Amino acid sequence: MGTSFGRGGATTFQQDLANSDAILIMGSNMAENHPVGFQWVMEARLKGATVMHVDPRFTRTSAMANLHVPIRAGSDIAFLGGIVNYILENERWLDEYVKHFTNAPVIIDERFQDTEDLDGFFSGFDPDKRIYDTSTWHYAGMPVQETAGERAKGGTKGEQSGHGAQAGHLAHGEPPEEDETLQHPRCVFQLLKKHYRRYTPEMVSQICGCTKEQFLEVAETLCENSGRERTSAIVYSVGWTQHTVGVQYIRTAAIIQLLLGNIGRPGGGIMALRGHASIQGSTDLATLYNVLPGYLPMPHAEKDTDLASYLDNHAGTTGWWGHFEAYFISQLKSFWGANSTEDNDFCFDYLPKIDGDHSTYQTAMDMIDRKVRGFFLFGENPAVGSANSRLQRFGLASLDWLVVRDFVEIESASFWKDAPELETGELKTEEIGTEVFFVPAASHVEKDGSFTNTQRLVQWHFQALEPEGDCRSDLWFVYHLGRKIREKLAGSNDPRDRPILDLTWQYATSGPLEEPSADQVLREINGIGPDGKALGTYADLKPDGSTACGCWIYCGIYGDEENKAARKKPGGEQTWVASNWAWAWPLNRRILYNRASADSKGRPWSERKKYVWWDGRKKKWVGEDVPDFQEDKPPTFVPTDDAKAEDAIAGDHPFILQADGRGWLFAAAGLMDGPLPTHYEPHESPFDNPLYSQRANPTRQLSPRAENPYNPAPSDAYPYVFSTYRLTEHHTAGGMSRTVPYLAELQPEFFCEVSPGLAKERGLEHGGWATIITSRTAIEARVLVTERMKPIVVDGRPVHQVGVPYHWGTRGLTKGDSGNDLFPGALDPIVHTQEVRAASCDIQPGRRPRGKALRELVESYPSTVEASA
């Protein structure tokens, strides 16, 4: 969403779903995975909204929906692209919104060529490196700067975070060439029409395996529930992000919502549902290799050789990224404090540099290759949770040392004595040299701190009691580890030790355990001004070193010296927006881009959908929420030609992080695999692509090697499609549910779901066992034969699907094989997210072989370590 709107976070909040007139849930099983959030969908349904679920499986979400459309896993862009086409062909877009708030009128570089011209490729593809030169995708007459995330030079594949706040950057000012009538053949609007014109209802039906009528019902329902008087929301989850083209799935939804005028308005938006308590926060605060807190890019060794070149490469000119330098310098000040001065480039050189893909799959392979020798795990279980977790276990077994921080002895801590590879003889306990430290963690009730939820809301949880025994918070662990390392290195003259010794690491501790203060850390994240007082807004950050701020998008969370994450004013004592419960980034705005809830002149689109509007008498934006716009900038404001930063954004352009203030139908920068989403087949799809000769995403990232083979595709040996997913009763890799008696008893055994037709075809018995085979491994599961798993008919050919909940492992109260062992590491080229939603497999009745016979079975199936395009 970052490239489309400017920020990667969910554009709205869960309670607002109750205001929707139609809700499309796709790539998400919301009722099962976010049951309490689903109350707002049910509330909308009770008020008359239509709830639609487009998903390969009939789930508990489908059961609650007014419409369930089963489509083939991995065909979502075709379906959504069909909706774009439907809107354009039937003139259903919200014209004023599209003309003023999006880049529809902008004219694109004349060298640009579409997938329609090049049979599945955009202009600029380099077949050797498998990357695009994106320079022909820019606005005509203007060089377009890449997003603040990363530039696509030097062969490094796309490096953006899926949850972040990147933005497209124009070098300066308004786009030079526009056509307000949307008729110019190279304007974005016409390019969009051309790109999607073959995504007809018939084509959707052919690719996705749904009927034309089902598709039309969804498209029409969205259209008739959008406009001035009505709004529709789209909800997605990991079902979209975990594909080789995941980012483009979300982009397609963004295009639909921009055309229909649903972003920034109550009951509209795109609700991204994250799967972990603080997954949004962990990306905001950047436990990701390619970003620093607040989505500032990690410096690149070859390009960002010093502070000046780094700023030159990444700082924006217009929009709120225009203050990039202030955000970045303030962050260096919060890391290195008084040691960070103008004379030493504010310690820019202290930051380590990246120069390639350092994401977790690469890291696992580097473990096997003995490049990575020491590894910390903080509440994560890659021996079960990651795609091709077999490869992960080989990685763990190759380390010198491993530190595991968790509540329970997870499989990633115990692999040396119970990994499945011990049974097959591939690993031997005595031969595994990994030194393992299991250091037990404190639970959420045993520490203070904040989680950032799926709607960017930062909520504080208070400590209820002290942790027992050796259990400690990760704050304690990291602080004291850092303290010890600094003590041991004190006095070193080696220049490489300066960054660690000069780090500001003075945190107050309290109590018998010497627990550092989470409150103090949050205040550091918020930042302080020259007077040492907590800042109230990132607008006050300075590039001269006089302010410090750990994460600019969190600035204001500690404004007026109040921990605003800890605000607990009861919801019942506030308006429905509940602005005084906790704090949302940025600046406590609950619906992003909410200036778009008013028309181009600042008037509510309708009384029914009133939210934020321009009050001509008070000369400011007012309404239910904190305006996501300069409070006093009138809707008629026109920037001067040399205006910078926010002053360059016109009064009728609500997307204030974008360089041109507009929602991007066409992503002129920021994406490595295309400016417009295009349907490609999943890597291991059994089908060819009916739209183009190019079958799969040409820029997808493959890492073929002996431990990570691929199924040849298409292949008769793997005639079925399988996908993995979660159940309500369990949590991800199971470390927090298989070990909990009341949850373990609700789903006490690993099972797979198959249709009666597949059961018959393969002789699978309900309640019996089945073995599921890919080129990685074979696993066994109990068989649940159910009508909920319907084969999807594609091209007249029924495709059977195997459903695999992935929560099990070798430990816990309920044990079983791990579904994610089946997957290869095939990754989204942009965010390196694993593709664990669709791949091919075989299924056979009975239990899997034991010992060496297991590998013999797997090796009797075809595999490839070629990276075929």
Q: What residues numbered 732-771 form the site for another protein, per CB under 8 A?
A: 732, 736-737, 739-749, 751, 766-767
558-565 contacts at long range (C-beta below 8 A, 24 or more positions apart): 558/522, 558/523, 558/525, 558/526, 558/534, 559/526, 559/534, 559/535, 560/534, 560/536, 561/533, 561/534, 563/460, 563/519, 563/522, 563/523, 564/588, 565/450, 565/458, 565/459, 565/460, 565/522
Which of positions 3-22 make contact with another protein (CB under 8 A)?
13-15
One character per residue 26-65, x = contact with another protein (rule: CB under 8 A): -----xxxxxxxxx--x---x---x-------x-xxxxxx
Quick one: which of 3, 134, 160, 452 contacts another protein (CB under 8 A)?
452
2, two tokens: 């970052």
**358: alpha, beta or left? (left if phi > 0; alpha if psi -120 to 50):** alpha
Residue (182 or 565) nearer to another protein, CB: 565
Quick one: which of 86, 139, 321, 451 contacts another protein (CB under 8 A)?
451
**Least Cβ distance, residue 766 to another protein (angstroms):** 6
Which of positions 338-357 make contact with another protein (CB under 8 A)?
349-356
Which of positions 653-692 make contact with another protein (CB under 8 A)?
none
Binding of another protein by 562 (CB under 8 A): no
Residue (186 or 782) nearer to another protein, CB: 782
Quick one: which of 509, 581, 601, 717 contacts another protein (CB under 8 A)?
581
* C-alpha closest to that of 283 among 296, 269, 301: 296
3-state secondary structure 600-647: CCCCECCCCCCCEEEECCCCEEEECCCCCCCCCCCCCCCCCCCCCEHH
Residue (302 or 615) nearer to another protein, CB: 302
Q: How far apart are CA 133 and CA 146, in angstroms?
A: 12
Residue (311 or 813) nearer to another protein, CB: 813
**Least Cβ distance, residue 408 to another protein (angstroms):** 5
Q: How far apart are CA 421 and CA 394, in angstroms?
A: 9
**Least Cβ distance, residue 684 to another protein (angstroms):** 19
Quick one: which of 729, 757, 769, 855 contacts another protein (CB under 8 A)?
729
Binding of another protein by 701 (CB under 8 A): no
Question: What's the chain's length in residues?
Answer: 869
Specify the stretch interacting with another protein by CB under 8 A; choose among 185-193, 277-285, 679-687, 838-846. 277-285
How big, in percent rounded to 5, are the helix, strand and coil portions of the chain? 30, 15, 55
Q: How far apart are CA 235 and CA 647, in angstroms?
A: 33
Neighbours of 745 (CB within 10 A): 11
Quick one: which of 343, 468, 531, 560 contacts another protein (CB under 8 A)?
468
Which of positions 375-404 make contact with another protein (CB under 8 A)?
375-380, 382, 385-387, 400-401, 403
One character per residue 785-824, x = contact with another protein (rule: CB under 8 A): -xxx-----------------------xxx----------
**Least Cβ distance, residue 452 to another protein (angstroms):** 6
One character per residue 204-233, x = contact with another protein (rule: CB under 8 A): ---------xx--x----------------
Quick one: which of 21, 109, 411, 446 contacts another protein (CB under 8 A)?
446
Q: Which helix (H) or strand (E) holds 405?
A: strand 401-406
Quick one: which of 88, 104, 187, 288 contacts another protein (CB under 8 A)?
288
Binding of another protein by 437 (CB under 8 A): yes
Asked if residues 475 and 505 have their Cβ atoms less than 8 Å apart, the reply is no
**Least Cβ distance, residue 834 to another protein (angstroms):** 6
Residue (403 or 867) nearer to another protein, CB: 403
* Cis amide linkage into residue 714, ω under 30° from 0: yes
Specify the stretch interacting with another protein by CB under 8 A; choose among 195-203, 256-264, 563-571, 656-664. 563-571
**Least Cβ distance, residue 704 to another protein (angstroms):** 20
Q: How far apart are CA 692 and CA 116, in angstroms?
A: 8
Binding of another protein by 617 (CB under 8 A): no
143, two tokens: 């060089």
**Least Cβ distance, residue 101 to another protein (angstroms):** 28
Question: Positive or negative, the Cα torsion across 268, 273, 278, 284?
Answer: negative
Which of positions 156-175 make contact with another protein (CB under 8 A)?
161-163
Binding of another protein by 460 (CB under 8 A): yes
Quick one: which of 143, 176, 185, 433 contacts another protein (CB under 8 A)?
433
Which of positions 826-855 make contact with another protein (CB under 8 A)?
831-834
Quick one: which of 172, 447, 662, 807 contacts another protein (CB under 8 A)?
447
Q: How far is CA 24 from CA 250, 395, 580, in A?
A: 13, 40, 29
Q: How far apart are CA 793 and CA 207, in angstroms?
A: 9
51 backbone dihedrals φ, ψ, rounded to 5°: -105, 125
Neighbours of 444 (CB within 10 A): 14
Asked if residues 47 and 218 have their Cβ atoms less than 8 Å apart, the reply is no
| Residues contacting another protein: total by CB under 8 A | 202
Which of positions 491-520 make contact with another protein (CB under 8 A)?
496, 499-500, 502-503, 505, 518
Residue (713 or 785) nearer to another protein, CB: 785
**Least Cβ distance, residue 493 to another protein (angstroms):** 14
Asked if residues 190 and 118 have their Cβ atoms less than 8 Å apart, the reply is no
Residue (297 or 712) nearer to another protein, CB: 297
- Count CA atoms within 13 Å of residue 93 on its CB side: 25
**Least Cβ distance, residue 867 to another protein (angstroms):** 20
First to last CA, the chain: 27
One character per residue 297-316, x = contact with another protein (rule: CB under 8 A): -x--xx--x-----------
Question: Residue 32 burial (CB < 10 Å; 0-12/13-18/19+)?
Answer: middle
Binding of another protein by 731 (CB under 8 A): yes
Residue (482 or 719) nearer to another protein, CB: 482
Question: Residue 575 burial (CB < 10 Å; 0-12/13-18/19+)?
Answer: exposed
**Least Cβ distance, residue 745 to another protein (angstroms):** 5
One character per residue 322-341, x = contact with another protein (rule: CB under 8 A): -------------x------
**Least Cβ distance, residue 68 to another protein (angstroms):** 7
Residue (565 or 643) nearer to another protein, CB: 565
Question: 131: Cβ–Cβ under 8 A, 6 or more apart, which residues?
Answer: 125, 152, 155, 157, 672, 699
Which of positions 472-491 make contact with another protein (CB under 8 A)?
472-475, 478-482, 484-485, 488-489
668: Cα separation from own chain's centroid: 20
Quick one: which of 7, 57, 68, 776 contacts another protein (CB under 8 A)?
68
Binding of another protein by 727 (CB under 8 A): yes
**Least Cβ distance, residue 51 to another protein (angstroms):** 9
**Least Cβ distance, residue 687 to another protein (angstroms):** 25
Q: How far apart are CA 339 and CA 348, in angstroms?
A: 11
**Least Cβ distance, residue 792 to another protein (angstroms):** 14
Q: Which helix (H) or strand (E) holds 856?
A: helix 852-859
Q: How far apart are CA 334 and CA 340, in angstroms?
A: 9
* C-alpha closest to that of 440 among 479, 472, 484: 472
Residue (195 or 730) nearer to another protein, CB: 730
* C-alpha closest to that of 192 among 799, 674, 554: 674
131-132 and 125-126 strand pairing: antiparallel
